[in-house]
């Protein structure tokens, strides 16, 4: 491993690290971040937090909230920087036209996630019905045991890594989140047998999702695609139909990118 991949503390600028941590925190919030909240997160004085925020504003990465609100918000510069990287994501390029066709057919939103260590990272979202908003925006990460796409990915991690993951700290997002290792083992068997996973309000109350894995030619996990809607709009037949549809489209995507690889691990990507 090179020094660039594993920098020593002697080569790290603590001030730069604080600024980047401030940017990350602000980007992950759904509301403007107050100076007090930023200082608390950074575990520093409000003066230091203010300097970090002003550095990010001067660089164009965040902006001050307007319209009677106070605090800090991320700017579109981050989206501009991320766009070329997303365009280079081969799985996303292969999957997008196939997923768009299915989203249009059902008039429902579809997301695409890739494994990122112990999380699932959402790299695409096709929103057809814009009156319905879901948690899984592009750039969001979910623990591997939460959500349809995440659990479809986890179910196809090697058995040893799967066991290592479920032995760790399993957090909850709703009362419906499964945190029992035994239930997650049963879930893994079910997903691999039927070919798709079902998320019943374990990410958001009132939202159900169905996902299927995307595999390469060796059966190794590359990602997962999920379709979602308001729970009240789907009965069991709807869920089954979506599951079978997701299996078909993910199999098609798999044939398009069967040469891609990903080495599963539980670190941070």
Model-level pTM? Answer: 0.70
Q: At what angle do helices 77-88 and 90-106 cross, to 10 degrees?
A: 100
Predicted pLDDT at 2? 40
How many residues appear in the chain?
A: 269
User: For 9-78, CATH number?
Assistant: 1.10.10.10
239 has a pLDDT exceeding 90: yes
From the number of C-beta atoms within 10 Å of its C-beta (0-12, 13-18, 19+), residue 235 rates as exposed
Higher pLDDT, 5 or 133: 133
- In the structure, what pLDDT confidence band is assigned to residue 4 with cuts at 50, 70 and 90? very low
142's CB contacts (< 8 A; 6+ apart) are 113, 119, 120, 122, 136, 149, 150, 203
Predicted pLDDT at 197? 98
∠ CA 22-26-30, rounded to 5° = 165
The topology (CATH level 3) of 89-256 is Beta-Lactamase (3.30.450)
| Residue 135 φ/ψ, nearest 5 degrees | -70, -35
Poorest-pLDDT segment among 112-126, 131-145, 199-213: 131-145
Domain boundaries, the chain: 9-78, 89-256
Poorest-pLDDT segment among 12-26, 141-155, 200-214: 12-26
Tokens read off for 136: 């899984």
146 has a pLDDT exceeding 50: yes
Q: pLDDT tens, 163-183?
A: 999 999 999 999 999 999 999
Name 46's bridge partners: none
Predicted pLDDT at 189? 98
88 has a pLDDT exceeding 60: no
Segment 211-235 shows an average pLDDT of 93
Poorest-pLDDT segment among 77-81, 84-88, 92-96: 84-88
Higher pLDDT, 11 or 118: 118
130 has a pLDDT exceeding 70: no
8 has a pLDDT exceeding 80: no
Segment 219-230 shows an average pLDDT of 93
């Amino acid at each position: 491993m090179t020094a660039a991949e594993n920098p020593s503390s002697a080569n790290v600028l603590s001030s730069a690290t604080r600024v980047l941590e401030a940017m990350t925190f602000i980007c992950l919030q759904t509301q403007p971040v107050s100076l007090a909240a930023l200082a608390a997160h950074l575990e520093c004085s409000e003066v230091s937090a203010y300097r970090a925020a002003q550095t990010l504003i001067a660089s164009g990465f965040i902006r001050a909230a307007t319209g009677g609100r106070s605090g800090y918000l991320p700017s579109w510069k981050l989206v501009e920087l991320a766009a070329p990287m997303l365009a280079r994501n081969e799985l996303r390029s292969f999957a997008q036209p196939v997923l768009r066709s299915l989203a249009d057919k059902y008039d429902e939103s579809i997301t695409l996630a890739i494994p990122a260590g112990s999380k699932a990272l959402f790299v695409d979202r096709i929103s057809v019905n814009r009156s319905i908003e879901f948690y899984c925006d592009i750039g969001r990460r979910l623990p591997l045991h939460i959500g349809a796409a995440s659990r479809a990915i986890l179910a196809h991690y090697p058995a040893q890594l799967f066991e290592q993951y479920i032995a760790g700290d399993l957090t909850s997002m709703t009362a419906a989140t499964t945190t029992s290792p035994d239930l997650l083992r049963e879930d893994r068997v079910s997903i691999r047998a039927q070919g798709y996973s079902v998320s019943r309000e374990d990410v958001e109350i009132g939202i159900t999702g169905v996902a299927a894995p995307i595999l390469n030619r060796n059966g190794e996990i590359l990602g997962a695609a999920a379709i979602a809607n308001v729970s009240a709009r789907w009965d069991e037949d709807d869920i089954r139909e979506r599951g079978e549809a997701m299996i078909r489209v993910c199999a098609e995507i798999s044939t398009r990118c069967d040469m891609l690889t990903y080495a599963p691990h539980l670190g941070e990507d």
